[in-house]
Amino acid sequence: MTGEPPKPSPEAVRARLDEIRATRGFLLPHHGAMAAALPDLHDAYGAMYRALTLTERHLTPFEKEFVWLAILTAAEEHVGTHHVDLFHRTGGTPRQAEAAFRLVAWARGAETFAFLDRHWQGHFPDLRAADAYRAGTAALIAGLDVPAPLARLALLGVQAARGAHWPLATDIEAAYGEAVPEPKMAEAMSLVMWPCGVNRFLEACGAWLQVLRSGRVVPSPAFRAWAETPDQEGFALPPRGAAPAA
């Protein structure tokens, strides 16, 4: 094929993999595939990893690793053991690890309340699904060995990772009610991009946008600007058979 970019030499591939092992302390199979066939993607991948996971922004190192532990558990991402190591290195205790696992287990059970809201709410007019879910969440958080705002952040990450938008919207409202900082909320949810893909973050932000536009929360000026921006639904296809634009 003409115009095909040159293939990396074996020496270049080995050098790339040696650099990854030296900087991160381990290798995974996809590192080698990118080094051998997709070196430009390999470069972008490393930059993305550094920006997403290594740059300190709004979450403290321990907060980030607590959220990571919960997200990776929810995603059943067993290869993320370096985050288990970082959880311990940033001061995580066995009771705090148990807190993360309890939050994930509770988040998975949230579909019970989503079912009630979607299908049976009319049969239980005195039992609002969202209120019942929030009450159960508050009771769980009260017994955990982590601050309530951190537990809320972990739930946002877990529900975003699961693509569970009903409980995510309910948890976002609760986070606003407890004055959890919006930048921390955004950072916690953004972590799902690594193990679960960009679309899970996109969908989570869509659920967040609906909450912002509902009037049920009071966003900061920056987030209000986001909410007030129209036409955030992506590329709109013209009707089939319509004449092309001139």
Residue 26 pLDDT > 60: yes
99 near 115, Cβ under 8 Å? no
For residue 147, the model assigns a pLDDT of 97
Third-level CATH fold of 58-224: AhpD-like (1.20.1290)
DSSP 37-90: H-HHHHHHHHHHHIIIIIS-SSS-HHHHHHHHHHHHHHTT-TT-HHHHHHHHHT
Residue 29 corresponds to which amino acid? P
For residue 24, the model assigns a pLDDT of 81
Among 41-45, 58-62, 168-172, which is the least confidently predicted range?
41-45
For residue 242, the model assigns a pLDDT of 67
pLDDT digits (tens, 9 = 90+) for 155-201: 999 999 999 999 999 999 999 999 999 999 999 999 999 999 999 99
Mean pLDDT of the chain: 93
DSSP 155-179: HHHHHHHHT-HHHHHHHHHHHHHTT
Residue 3 pLDDT > 60: yes
- Per domain, the residue ranges of the chain are 11-55, 58-224
140 near 102, Cβ under 8 Å? yes
162 near 74, Cβ under 8 Å? yes
Residue 237 pLDDT > 90: no
Residue 246 pLDDT > 70: no
CA 37 to chain centre: 29
Q: Computed from CA positions of residues 204, 205, 210, 215, in that sequence, does the dihedral angle turn out positive or negative?
A: positive
148-162 helix and 94-109 helix, angle to the nearest 10 degrees:
50
Residue 2 pLDDT > 60: no
Angle at the Cα of 203 from the Cα atoms of 130 and 222, rounded to 5 degrees = 85
The Cα-based distances of 245 to 118, 232, 233, 237 in angstroms read 41, 21, 20, 12
pLDDT digits (tens, 9 = 90+) for 93-129: 999 999 999 999 999 999 999 999 999 999 999 999 9
DSSP state of 122: G
First to last CA, the chain: 36
Rounded Cα–Cα distance for residues 166 and 110 (Å): 9
For residue 149, the model assigns a pLDDT of 97
Burial 160-192 (b: 16+ CB within 10 A, else e): bbbebbbbbbbbbbbbbeeebebebbbbbbbbb
pLDDT digits (tens, 9 = 90+) for 140-159: 999 999 999 999 999 999 99
Residue 67 pLDDT > 80: yes
